[in-house]
Amino acid sequence: MTTQGSPFGDEPFAVAAGLAAGVGRGALAGARFDAPFRGVRQWRGADPGDPAEPDKLTPKQRELRDFKKRCRQFATRMGDTDFFSHGTALILRGVPTPLDWDEAIHVSGLRPRNPARSAGVVSHRLAQREAAFRVIGGLRVEHPVRAWVQASTHLTEVELIVAADHLVARRRGLATIDQLRAEARRNRAPALEPVLDRVRDGSESPWETRLRLILVEAGLPEPDLAVELRAADGRFLARLDQGYLRYRVGVEYDGRQHAENPTQFARDADRWRDIADEGWDLVRILHHHLYPDPNVAIDLVRRALLRAGWQG
């Protein structure tokens, strides 16, 4: 759609900026512009952004795309020192979104600054401290360590562990457990200590984290993460999500993301055979094994451990 009627093209803009650019009040209040927030306008029908094939997005991906669009829209109302914080900052940094999230946008400013407020936006006024935000995709986003501690006010314990597992993964380099612990202590948040005790480096997805927590809570041994499996001659065979080295039992969450890819499925099938040839029992957990009843997954892993000699 042409955006010749907007001097800002597809981009959102503050009403004040529109007036300064010569757009009349009548036009700004008319049908050509969306008003996602008070004082914000965007050309109606503007491309929501990524990706080129929106029909292939999952509902969760669409939610995330639309959430980021709303953040870009609200940013036009934010002060020069305001920044996205709490769970919003985590999401904008790529941390997995919670299973059930209210999609409220969290924005912070440092005292005495009162950050912009609007419906659907939670504003926070934080104690004076050297700012640590970084500009990501044109948006000012809080430091991930600070954002994680901030998010403890509105995320569940499991969601916090999922987020922390993502942050501390060494391949990402976003944070360390020690940094998270130090920030929690600086904010006098002792309740986060036992949460951090359950955070691990090595989880590759939120479902892997959730599976690990479910198994341990059920009384099963805690698995090692990112277990590298090699043949007797040293040849690399596989990297297991989770595994019990003592019992040669591997556990993987299979999200079936390759189910429609014949090449990948064939590759996986060969990998499963190699794992079995080395004497490992690989337990593949699918989504329906975890939800609505996680006891199905727990029983699958428990039986594999018992077959391998675990005494329970």
What's the DSSP call for residue 127? P
Report the distance separating Cα 123 and Cα 114, nearest Å: 8
Position 290 confidence tier, pLDDT thresholds 50, 70, 90: very high
198-94-191 Cα angle (round to 5)? 30
Average pLDDT over residues 276-303: 95
Average pLDDT over residues 113-124: 92
Q: Reply yes or no on whether the pLDDT at 201 is more than 50.
A: yes
Q: Hey, is 107 helix, strand or coil? A: strand
CATH 3.40.50 fits 206-307, yes or no: no
Position 171 confidence tier, pLDDT thresholds 50, 70, 90: confident
Strands (E), 35-160: 40-43, 83-84, 105-110, 121-126, 134-136, 139-141
**Higher pLDDT pick, 48 / 241:** 241
Average pLDDT over residues 255-269: 63
Average pLDDT over residues 148-167: 97
Six token digits for residue 7: 């001097």
Report the distance separating Cα 201 and Cα 104, nearest Å: 29
**Higher pLDDT pick, 57 / 115:** 115
Task: Output the pLDDT for position 238.
Answer: 87
111-114-116 Cα angle (round to 5)? 145
pLDDT digits (tens, 9 = 90+) for 133-149: 999 999 999 999 999 99
Q: Reply yes or no on whether the pLDDT at 102 is more than 60.
A: yes
Position 15 confidence tier, pLDDT thresholds 50, 70, 90: very high
Query: What residue ranges do the domains of the chain occupy?
Result: 78-196, 206-307
Task: Output the pLDDT for position 272.
Answer: 79
pLDDT digits (tens, 9 = 90+) for 84-99: 999 999 999 999 998 8
Task: Output the pLDDT for position 2.
Answer: 38
**Higher pLDDT pick, 102 / 16:** 16
Tell me, what amino acid is at 70? R
Report the distance separating Cα 58 and Cα 6, nearest Å: 31
Strands (E), 32-72: 33-34, 40-43
Six token digits for residue 152: 């403890």
Q: Hey, is 228 helix, strand or coil? A: strand
Question: Which among 89, 80, 96 has a CA at the least distance from the CA of 165?
Answer: 96
Q: Reply yes or no on whether the pLDDT at 59 is more than 90.
A: no
pLDDT digits (tens, 9 = 90+) for 250-261: 999 987 654 566
Report the distance separating Cα 163 and Cα 193, nearest Å: 15
- Contact assessment for residue 107 and residue 122, using Cβ atoms and an 8 Å cutoff: yes
User: What are the residue ranges of helices labelled H in 153-205?
Assistant: 157-168, 177-186, 192-196
Task: Output the pLDDT for position 126.
Answer: 93
Task: Output the pLDDT for position 271.
Answer: 78
Biggest CA pair distance of the chain:
77
Q: Say what the pTM is.
A: 0.89
- Contact assessment for residue 107 and residue 116, using Cβ atoms and an 8 Å cutoff: yes
Tell me, what amino acid is at 282? L
